[in-house]
Amino acid sequence: MTQANFSDDTQTITEVVTVDLVSDQPGVITTMTSETPGSQSQDIKDQILTILSELPAYLSTFFVEYQKPLVTIGLILAGAISIKVTLGVLDALNDVPLVAPFFELIGIGYTGWFVYRYLLNATSRKELLTEIDSLKEQVVGQDS
């Protein structure tokens, strides 16, 4: 191994030269590599570029392997965010004068209509139970 230093008033360049010899033929030089301080940063740059170029393949493999848990977590987060936004909007509307009492009147009116429409007569209660069972079958599925 030979090391050469070239000095100037402002800059020092260090170069490392590696020479391999053929063991079965004495005195024959096979390879000569020159390594400068910049080549180490080039190697690191190449490794980073290799990792970044393979990143889409890694991410697609990860998503395919863990698709169901990722979708579940995404739905839970989306549901939590939508609940927070809805509560924020309702809180803001509640601060506006006359909006809260108006919503209360709408709720009382709908409750009165629902009781009159579905709960007063036995036939309408059966109709309500039929609609609830139909909706349950659509959501859950039919029982076997």
Give the model confidence (pLDDT) of 26-73 as tens digits: 665 555 555 555 688 889 999 999 998 999 999 999 999 999 999 999
State the DSSP code for 96.
S
Band of the pLDDT at 18, cuts 50, 70, 90? Answer: low
pLDDT at position 22: 55
Residue 141 has pLDDT above 60, yes or no: yes
C-alpha distance from residue 5 to each of 2, 13, 14, 65 (Å): 10, 6, 5, 54
Whole-angstrom Cα distance, residue 141 to residue 131? Answer: 14
Round to whole Å and give the CA distance between 1 and 19.
6
Residue 15 clears pLDDT 60, i.e. is over it: no
Q: pTM higher than 0.85, yes or no?
A: no
- Percent of the chain's residues with pLDDT above 90: 53
Per-residue pLDDT, averaged over 116-125, amounts to 93
The pLDDT of residue 78 is: 98
Cα distances (Å, whole numbers) of residue 124 to 34, 111, 118: 92, 15, 5
How large is the average pLDDT for residues 15-34? 58
Which residues 6+ apart lie within 8 Å of 14 measured at CB? 3, 4, 5, 36, 37
Of 106 and 10, the one with more pLDDT: 106
pLDDT at 7: 47
What does pLDDT average to over the chain?
82
